[in-house]
Structure 1
């Protein structure tokens, strides 16, 4: 109750509801009353024991409930975010395992490539040696083929010469042999 003076004997100016904001103007001496001003500018006296620096319990409860709702909403968001982060973590773990497996395969492939490449110089040298050897063998085959053809031609010419020599010998024998043979004298008159 807002009164016109310090005490119950003064008239009531307004009936104040619990939680009404008041501006303290003056505290009474030993009367237990405080002079206040309402938000609409009305001034009067109120028992000091009804005044509080804190909001009333109903307002504090409403503020606490609102804060609780906000906290629950933030908690729900945090849980959703945690679930999302767990899924991302699981995906990353799976991806990491895949990458580690691939890295192992690539490492094995790299080792094999290193081994092959270390033999590459030896293989290249051996390849050049085999190519040179192949070239020499081709030259030898060409030489032997030419020699074989020459020998075939010589064989034919030798055969022809032998045949000609035998024919010549046969003719010579046919001519000389009758001369060498003693001839008998025969009488043609008989």
Structure 2
């Protein structure tokens, strides 16, 4: 009777331990091949093998034997030592993922590098175009300055010519007026001598 109670208590403890560790994700450690057994111990028969890195589901744990009941990707249920399980993927399983990450990061870096080179080339092109526009504006400004200097010289020359014409016109008018006045003076002096005076009729005086 005492042995039966002890056996029931052990089974209840095993069931409680199994319920607290149900369906936890685990990975086979980096051993090349791991044997799985039909029960929680080496004394149980081997029912198969698992390769390193394979993912399994932890269904229950036998604390006394330090074994865990697992289910693999093929649907098989078996027991395996807990020290051959890991809560992290093995290095063998991580390598393809790491290689993929490296490839992805390399592609991203190449894309960033290509984009940066393109942006740099566009900025250099814009700077070159800006320098060309600035030089063009400078040349145009200098041309306008030269044209302004020439225009000022022309204006000064026209102003000088205008002053000369004004002086010539004034001189012509002065000469014309002096000539008219001289002719009038001469005629005023000559006409009385050229036209005989009429004798005064003094008959009415007698």
TM-score (norm 2): 0.52
Mapped pair 1:33 → 2:70: no
Alignment-derived partner of residue 178 in structure 1: none
What do the CA deviations read for 1:52-90 (whole angstroms, capped 9, x no partner)?
A: 122221121121112112222222222222222222222
Alignment-derived partner of residue 85 in structure 1: 119
Q: Which structure features the higher share of helix residues?
A: 1
Closer, same or farther in 2 for the Cα pair 1:107/1:11, shift >3 Å? same
CA distance in 2, matches of 1:87, 1:13: 66
Mapped pair 1:101 → 2:135: yes
Conservation of the 8 A alpha-carbon contact between 2:52 and 2:92:
no
Correspondences of 1:1-190 after superposition (within 5 Å) = 1-108=35-142
CA RMSD, aligned part only?
4.5
TM-score (norm 1): 0.55
Closer, same or farther in 2 for the Cα pair 1:8/1:97, shift >3 Å? same
CA distance in 2, matches of 1:12, 1:21: 19
Bigger relative contact order, structure 1 or 2, given CA contacts below 8 A and separation 6+?
2
| Over 4 Å off, 4+ runs | 106-117
User: CA shift at 1:106, angstroms?
Assistant: 4.5
What do the CA deviations read for 1:18-57 (whole angstroms, capped 9, x no partner)?
A: 1221111111113111111122322111111111122221
What do the CA deviations read for 1:102-154 (whole angstroms, capped 9, x no partner)?
A: 2334555677899999x9xxx8xx99xx7xx99xx8xx9xxx9xxxxxxxxxx
The secondary structure found in structure 1 opposite 2:86 is: coil
Q: Which runs of 5+ in 2 are unaligned?
A: 1-34, 177-206
Q: Which runs of 5+ in 1 are unaligned?
A: 145-190
The secondary structure found in structure 2 opposite 1:104 is: helix
Alignment-derived partner of residue 183 in structure 2: none
Aligned residue-pair number: 147
For the pair shown, the structure with the greater C-alpha radius of gyration is 1
CA distance in 2, matches of 1:113, 1:6: 105
